[in-house]
Structure formats: C-alpha cells, structure tokens
Structure 1
Amino acid sequence: MERKLIALDLDGTTLNETSRLNPTTIQTMQRLQAAGHIVSIITGRSYQGSQAIYDELKLNSPMINFNGSLGHLPHQDWAAEYQFTLNKAVVLALVNQREQLGINQIIAENKNSNLTAGEDLVAGQFFPEVANSPKLSAKTLTRNPNSLVLIVKPERRTAIIDWIKARFDDLVDIGVWGGPNAILEITSKGVHKARGMAYLAKHFHISRQNIIAFGDEHNDLEMLQYAGLGVAMTNGTAAVKTLADDVTSYDNAHDGVARYLTDYFELAE
C-alpha cells in the first residue's frame, strides 16, 4: 500500500470524552507510523495545548496548530516550518473595545507564548495554558499572534462577528465553536486546516488521494473536503457528516478513529 498522510483532529475525534487518548488509539497510531505512514496532528489547539498528546502518541511527524496557522516539528528545528499571523491592529482594536462589545476574554497565541485580556472561567477549562499569562496590551503585544481566541457573552456573539467583519473582513476569518460555549477563533484570512494538511502532503510527496483526514466540527470541513478520504466522526456535526466521504461506526469515546484505521489498513491480528 502507498504511503498515506493520516491527518488527525484532536478534540471530539482522536481524544475521548475526557480529552485523553485511549490506549488502543495510541497503539494504532504507533503501528501506522512504524509502517511508514505520516501520522500528523492537525488541530485548532495551541502547541502548548497539544504537545503532551503528540508526545504520548510518540509521533515524529510535523504538527499543525491554530487551525493551519503554524506548521512545525515539535522539539526540533525544522527548515520547512511556517506560520501565518494576524495584524496587531486587529488585536488591539478588540482589546480597546472588549468590554463594550461583550468579550469576556481575549487570548492572543503564538507558538510558545500567549497573552490575555479579561477573564472567563471557560478559559481555564479549554485553554489551561493561559493560567497566569501576561496581560495583553499595546505594550506587551510585541509581535503579530498566530491566532486569537475570544470568549464572548453568548447573546453578543452575532454582534461581535458583525463588528469584526465590518472592519477587518479582508484580513481575518472567524470560526465559531459549536456547543454551549460562546467561543470565536480568529485566524489570518484564508488560513484553515486544509492549508496545513496540503503543505505537509506536498512536503512528503504524498498525493491528495493518499490523504486520510478525520474530524468532527466546523473547523474540519475544508480538511475533510480536501483529503482523498475525509472521514467524519459519528459524534460529529450534521454538516460535517453530510460533506464527508465516510463516517466512523464508533464515536470518539470508543476509539472511532483507531477502529476505522484498523479496518482500512487491515491491522487486526
């Protein structure tokens, strides 16, 4: 079988319902990597928020963070590392209007650092790396961030999106988290997971039809559509399952990705 690029979303996909890795998933990914396939994490998470998972999987492949904004090789210098960043002016405009707009917290993220303005209990749950982060201000923001996360008041979400689009629509894209938490992810215009995945495929000389991608949410759509085989989780959103080429039989709590790959590669002993 030709070498494949296996692209893994984390939350709701490769990780179980407690945001951890099941042993079966770890073993399956290591078997596929040992067989010569490229197993790569492609996530909206920061590097800080995904490094432990990468290490637990014992991967040696590049990783894509911030929904495609950063591509790098963890723990090593990689000549092919890339990054997309947001204009600081966008960040500072949001910081200045944060309270008036109804934004509880703004998190500006880079590969190895982050800055925050405001606070919200949700941040500690989904972004543990922001605990004790330096304050985000015009003085501390010395470079353009890879990604912005806004934790907003739910009733203000639409108005905030409209405000950003009216001023910066040519500079940024806005991702909206599903579920009960009102979280917006802002990246540089035209940057999404598929950009990072395509970059890796080109780097490793893997054709588009030899990419297998797994995801469950809105920020996985472009990746699943670009891959030769885009697989939605059975616990994924209706939109993702409709557009995917296939759907897993098991959810993320029951090794849905690992079981799918075991069948696909006929790994069962």
Structure 2
Amino acid sequence: MTRKLIALDLDGTTLNADSKLNQPTIQTMQRLQAAGHVVSIITGRSYQGSQAIYDGLQLTSPMINFNGSLGHLPHQEWASEYQFTLNKAIVLALVKYREQLGINEIIAENKNSTMTAGQDLIAGKFFPEIANSPRLTPETLTRNPNSLVLLVQLDKRSAIIDWINDRFGDLVDVGVWGGPNAILEITSKGVHKAKGVAYLADYFKISRENIIAFGDEHNDLEMLQYAGLGVAMHNGTTAIKAAADDVTPYDNDQNGVARYLNDYFEIAE
C-alpha cells in the first residue's frame, strides 16, 4: 500500500463531543502509523492545548499548530521546524483599543507561551492554557506571536473585523469561529492549514493524491481542498461538506474518522 499522509483536525473531528479521544480512534491511528503511514495532527489549537492528545495517540510525526503557523516535532528538536508570526505592533494596537472596540479578551500565543489581556467568561473552556497566564502588555510582549485569538462582543464583531482589515489587511487574515461564540482568529496573511499539510507532504515526499485530510469547520477548508481526498465530518458545517470529496457516515462522537479509515484501509475491526 502506498504511504499516505493522514491529516487530522482535532475539535469536532478526531475528538469526541467531550473533546477527548475514544479508544477506537487511538487504536486505528496507532495501527496506521505502525503500517508506515504518516498520521499528523493539523489543528488551530496551541501546542499546549494539543500535546496531551498527540501523546494519547502515541504519534511520532510532526504536528501543525495555530492553523498552519507552527510546524514542529513534539518533545524533540527538529531541524525542519517552521513558524509564521504576527508583527507585535498589530497585537499592541489591539491591546490599546481593546475596550473601545468591544474585545473582551486577547490571547497571544507562541509554541511555549500564552499571554492575555482582558478576560472573558467562556475563554477557559476553549483555551485551558490561559489559566494563570501572564498579562499581555507592551512591556511583556517581547516577541512576535504565532497566533492571536480575540473573544469579542457579538454585536461588535463585524466592526472589529473591518477595523483590523482596514489597518492590517495586507498583513493578516481574520478567521471567524462558527457557533454561538464570538471568537476571531488572526493569522499571518495567507497562512492556513493547507500550508502545514503541504509542508509535511513535501518533507515526507508524499504526493497530494496520497493525502487524506479530515475536518469539520471553516478553518479546515483549504486543507480539505488541497488533499487528494478531503473528508468532511458527518457533523461538519454545510459549507465544508459541500467543498469536501467525501463525508464520513458517522460523526465525531461515533468515531467517524476511525471508522472511515478502517473502511478505507480495510482494517479488520
């Protein structure tokens, strides 16, 4: 069997409804990795927010964090590690006008650090790494972050996006989280999950037609379109399903990814 690159989104895809790994998922990924395929996590999450899942799957592959902004090999040095960053002047402008714009909390992250300005009641649910994180100020922000997340007031969301695009639109892209929570993700211009997947495919000398990618949300779009086989989750958004090559018969709570891969590779249960 030709070696495949299997690209896994985490939330709503590889993880169940409680954001945990189910045992069948762990077993399937370990089997595929043992068979010589490259199983790689491609997530919007930080390294801190995804390291336990990487370890739970017992992966040995590089991981892509912050929607393509960071590619690295967990727990060890990797000569091919890469990162894209945001100019800290952009971050400090948002910190300065945070309250005026209607931004409840700003979260700036790098591979091993998280800083926050302001606070939001739901932030800890999505970003457990912000607990006890240092404050984000002009004094403490000494380097350009990989990723910036804004928890904003819903009625101000469009105006905030316009404000960012008017000033920094040639430098950054603004992603909008689906669902009821008003969360914006800011990345370096043109950086998305497909960048990370393409980088890994090149590194492992795996052609595009041998990439299988799974996702459920808007930030998976470019990755699913880039992959030879882009698979949307049964529980994915309407737009993602429309753009995908296939849709899993089962959702993320029913081990949809594992079942799909077991069928694809004809792995006996």
Task: Give secondary structure in 1 for the equivalent of 2:259.
Answer: helix
Deviation, structure 1 residue 253 = 0.2
- Tell me, in whole angstroms, the C-alpha distance in 1 between the residues paired with 2:165 and 2:268: 50
Q: What 5-or-longer segments of structure 2 have no aligned partner?
A: none
Residue 59 of structure 1: how far off its partner (Å): 0.2
Residue number in structure 1 paired with 2:243: 243
What SS does the aligned partner of 1:195 have? helix
| 1:65-80 alignment, distance < 5 Å | 65-80=65-80
Aligned to 1:177: 177
Shift, 1:89, TM fit:
0.8
In the aligned structure 1, how far is the partner of 2:212 from the partner of 2:268? 19
1:108 counterpart SS class: strand
Task: Give the match for residue 58 of structure 2.
Answer: 58
Aligned-pair identity (%):
80
Structure 1 residue 141, shift from structure 2 partner: 0.4
Is 1:153 equivalent to 2:161 in the alignment? no
Moved beyond 4 Å, runs of 4+: none
The aligned amino acid for 2:96 is N
| AA of the residue aligned to 1:87 | N
Corresponding residue of 1:29? 29
- Once the two structures are TM-superposed, the CA of residue 123 in structure 1 deviates from its matched residue by 1.0
Aligned: 1:81 with 2:81: yes
Deviation at residue 121 of structure 1 after TM alignment: 1.4
User: SS of the counterpart of 1:121?
Assistant: coil
What is the TM-score of this pair, normalised by structure 1?
A: 1.00
What is the CA–CA distance in structure 1 between the aligned matches of 2:53 and 2:100, rounded to whole Å?
37
For residues 128 and 234 of structure 1, the distance between their equivalents in structure 2, rounded to whole angstroms, comes to 27
1:187 corresponds to 2:191: no
Residue correspondence of structure 1 range 89-108 to structure 2 within 5 A: 89-108=89-108
Listed as ranges, the gaps of 5+ residues in structure 1 are none
CA distance in 2, matches of 1:265, 1:38: 14
CA drift of 1:122 comes to: 1.3
In the alignment, which residue of structure 1 is the partner of 2:233?
233
After TM superposition, give the deviation of residue 144 of structure 1 in Å. 0.1
Code of the aligned partner of 2:113? S
CA drift at 1:100: 0.3
In structure 2, what residue type is equivalent to 1:210?
N
Distance 1:187 1:243 in 2: 22
Q: Deviation digits for residues 53-112 of structure 1, max 9, x if unmatched?
A: 000000000000000000000000000000000001100000000000000000000000
- 1:244-259 to 2 correspondences below 5 Å: 244-259=244-259
1:114 CA drift (Å): 0.9
What residue number does 1:133 align with? 133
Instruction: Confirm or deny that 1:124 pairs with 2:113.
Output: no
C-alpha separation in 2, matches of 1:237 and 1:97: 33
- Does residue 17 (structure 1) correspond to residue 21 (structure 2)? The answer is no
Q: Does 1:45 align with 2:40?
A: no
What's the secondary structure of 2:104's corresponding residue?
strand
- TM-score, structure 2 normalization: 1.00
SS of residue matched to 1:184? strand
The 1-side partners of 2:171 and 2:89 are apart by: 10
Structure 1 CA distance for aligned equivalents of residues 121 and 47 of structure 2: 21
Which AA in structure 2 matches 1:190? G
CA distance, structure 1, for counterparts of residue 106 and residue 229 of structure 2: 35
Letter in 1 for 2:220: D
How far does the alpha carbon of each residue in 1:3-39 deviate from its partner, in whole angstroms, 9 at most, with x for none?
0000000000000000000000000000000000000
Q: What's the Cα RMSD here? A: 0.4
| Distance across 2 between alignment mates of 1:181 and 1:55 | 29
Amino acid of the structure 2 residue aligned with 1:7: A
